[in-house]
């Protein structure tokens, strides 16, 4: 893999006075092809899917399959799951020439991650998080390379504030806050908690959770004062969301087809993304037909017959 000479000054994005728009780390979904797509529609920073640092360091096969990028894939943050400082720092050193920062996952609530000592269980170990951030900053030989964390909140918010302030003292670059506890799934996001955290640290804070439209970006900023927003499902449903579209425009759908073919995206991934993109703009009978398609050529024929090409309809929403 060649070293990418991309923009390594990620922190400069937070100094421009606008809300930074970020594509979240999503298992199976926030891979190179999808990152390429959302970058065309005003996404400022992209994350890789979460990678288990120990596996990444142990296996060449894991490194080749889990981390794929190119020279246009910037700014890029690599998210790792880890539970010891040295492994995280070693992984950061491996990916540093090809990315702009690493992020420690302290928010994944899945049982397998928690039982392995990864994800949201780390919010209960602020000293360990502090050590992990500090070692990454000390070992990566690039002062512009970022070390960030993505967290969930405690029921007792004082513990979350303590965690964030400890991470700040260790040199954390920014903090992404998913405004729910590890036990909460679909409950409303605690925007008041995100605001409290923002007011408690001087590093940039990113809000995450339930942002589905561009107007939600502005309302979240107004309520919390955060420096940026991170979006997952909202971008799956509409990769052009940050460009102001309420639903996926036809141009974006055909962009995804072109990118997927160019990069050799496996059919299942290619198809699943389109299922998400078309969910808001197609009827239930149409979705039933589309979801049953089993080849790239069948998908392309369906899209052309149902929606037309970009040449037919310009960039109008489907």
pLDDT tens for 230-269 read 999 999 999 999 999 999 999 999 999 999 999 999 999 9
Residue ranges matching CATH 3.20.20.70 in the chain: 12-240
Cα atoms in the 13 Å half-sphere on the side-chain side of 290: 25
Residues contacting 236, CB < 8 A, separation 6+:
26, 29, 273, 276, 277
Cis before 75? omega within 30: yes
pLDDT tens for 223-235 read 999 999 999 999 9
Give catalytic residues, as residue numbers.
108
12-240, what's its fold?
A: TIM Barrel (3.20.20)
126 is in an annotated binding site: no
Q: Is the per-residue pLDDT at 292 higher than 90?
A: yes
79 is in an annotated binding site: yes
- How would residue 50 be classed by pLDDT, with cut points 50, 70 and 90? very high
Rounded CA gap, 193 and 157, in Å? 7
pTM of the model: 0.94
Q: Which residue has the tokens 């942002």?
A: 211
Q: So what's the pLDDT on residue 39?
A: 98
232 is in an annotated binding site: yes
């Amino acid at each position: 893999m060649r070293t990418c000479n991309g923009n390594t000054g990620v922190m400069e994005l937070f100094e421009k006075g606008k809300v930074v728009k970020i594509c979240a780390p999503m298992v199976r979904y926030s891979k190179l092809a999808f990152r390429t797509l959302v970058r065309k529609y005003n996404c400022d920073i992209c994350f890789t899917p979460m990678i288990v640092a120990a596996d990444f360091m142990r296996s060449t096969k894991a490194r080749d399959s889990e981390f794929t990028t190119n020279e246009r894939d910037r700014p890029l943050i690599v998210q790792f799951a880890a539970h010891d400082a040295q492994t995280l720092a070693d992984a950061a050193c491996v990916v540093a020439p090809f990315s702009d920062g690493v992020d420690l996952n302290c928010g994944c609530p899945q049982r397998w991650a928690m039982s392995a000592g990864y994800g949201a269980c780390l919010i209960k170990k602020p000293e360990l998080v502090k050590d992990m951030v500090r070692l990454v900053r000390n070992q990566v030989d690039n002062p512009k390379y970022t070390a960030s964390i993505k967290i969930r909140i405690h029921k007792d918010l004082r513990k979350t504030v303590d965690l964030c302030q400890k991470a700040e003292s260790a040199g954390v670059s920014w903090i992404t806050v998913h405004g729910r506890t590890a036990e909460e799934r679909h409950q409303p996001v605690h925007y008041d908690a995100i605001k409290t955290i923002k007011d408690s640290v001087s590093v940039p804070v990113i809000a995450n959770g339930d942002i589905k439209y561009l107007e939600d970006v502005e309302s979240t900023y107004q309520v919390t004062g955060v420096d940026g927003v991170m979006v997952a499902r909202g971008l799956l449903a509409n990769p052009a969301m940050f460009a102001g579209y309420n639903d996926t425009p036809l141009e974006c759908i055909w962009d995804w087809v072109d990118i997927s073919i160019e990069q050799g995206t496996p059919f299942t991934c290619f198809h699943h993304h389109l299922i998400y993109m078309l969910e808001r703009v197609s009827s239930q009978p149409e979705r039933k037909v589309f979801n049953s398609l089993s080849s790239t050529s069948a998908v392309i024929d369906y899209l052309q017959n149902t929606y037309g090409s970009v040449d037919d309809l310009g960039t109008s929403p489907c």
